[in-house]
Amino acid sequence: MLALSEALLAEGFQKAHIFLDNNPTHKQKMQDFFQQQAKELDLQVVFHYLPRYSPKLNPVEYLIHLVRQKCLHHGDHKRNLNDLEKQLTDLLHQKQFVLQYQLINILQHIQDLIIQT
Could you read off the pLDDT of 34-91 as tens digits, one per residue? 777 777 778 888 887 778 778 888 888 888 888 888 777 777 777 788 888 888 888 7
Query: Looking at residue 48, what is its pLDDT?
Result: 79
Which of the two residues, 37 and 10, has the higher pLDDT score?
10
Length of the chain: 117
Question: Could you tell me the pLDDT band of residue 26, with boundaries at 50, 70 and 90?
Answer: low
Residue % of the chain over a pLDDT of 70? 92
Query: Looking at residue 79, what is its pLDDT?
Result: 77
User: Cα(23)–Cα(49) distance, rounded to whole angstroms?
Assistant: 9
Q: What angle do CA 81, 55, 67 make, to 5 degrees?
A: 30
Do residues 59 and 110 touch, judged by C-beta distance below 8 A? Answer: yes
